[in-house]
Chains A and B, each alone.
Chain A
Amino acid sequence: AQRVTQPEKLLSVFKGAPVELKCNYSYSGSPELFWYVQYSRQRLQLLLRHISRESIKGFTADLNKGETSFHLKKPFAQEEDSAMYYCALNSGFQKLVFGTGTRLLVSP
């Protein structure tokens, strides 16, 4: 069965510190992985997807098939990065499976 694990419910860092939000997945095939972000009082929106290999708002994520991970990283956190972050896997059955989410809190 497809599963996405985000082990941290809350990650609290100071502004300017590096950030890594962990995501591990369980899937036997080749997964399509996404990071979605939900800022306060805003809709869920795509942050980045592994297939496009982009850097959005300074965030990057690398798919590591050996470790079945897709961790989200940013070298210098900003206060406006405070939000709920969901890692998601699309397994090919038109189903997007979300992890439980990590709330990132960036303090000044």
Chain B
Amino acid sequence: DTEVTQTPKHLVMGMTNKKSLKCEQHMGHRAMYWYKQKAKKPPELMFVYSYEKLSINESVPSRFSPECPNSSLLNLHLHALQPEDSALYLCASSRRAREEETQYFGPGTRLLVL
């Protein structure tokens, strides 16, 4: 398996809902990432996990809560989101969290907050 998979593909949620995004890879990568991509904008880094530990949080609001239960799985828990949080959420992975490593991206979850 040489891909990063993400579920669901689409998600619509209200501002009071709690939902989770899931990301999975079976390439043996030990670094995983969450990015947010607004329409017609580049991806922006949110979180980095290295060896299942959170190593970077780019000052993301606490309504976004990442979790890395094991080396293959990365979750993003969502609670009390705002309409401006509507975006494409991308997951990526790399062999290690090092600058020369290529990051492999999933197809994304398109989130709409009503």
Chain A, residues 35-73, CB within 8 Å of chain B (1/0): the string is 010000011111001010000000000000000000000
Q: How many residues of A contact B (CB 8 A)?
A: 23
Interface size on B, residues (CB 8 A): 26
Q: Cβ of B103 < 8 Å from any Cβ of A? A: yes
Supposing A46-B102, A91-B99 touch, asked if A101 and B55 sit within 8 A by C-beta, the answer is no
Q: Which of A18-26, A75-83, A92-100 contacts B (4 or more CB under 8 A)?
A: A92-100
* Interface hits, B77-114 → A, CB 8 Å: 90, 92, 97-108
Which of A32, A45, A49 lies in contact with B105, CB distance below 8 A?
A: A45
Given the interface contacts A44-B43, A86-B42, A98-B42, does A92 sit within 8 Å of B99 by beta carbon? yes
- In the complex, which residues of chain A have a beta carbon less than 8 angstroms from the beta carbon of B12? none
Given A43-B106, A45-B105, A46-B104: A90 in contact with B42 (beta carbons within 8 A): no
B48 touches A43 (CB 8 A): no
Residues A44 and B48 in contact in the complex (CB < 8 Å), given A93-B56, A98-B43, A99-B42: no
A residues sitting closer than 8 Å to B (CB atoms) are: 32, 34, 36, 42-46, 49, 51, 86, 90-101
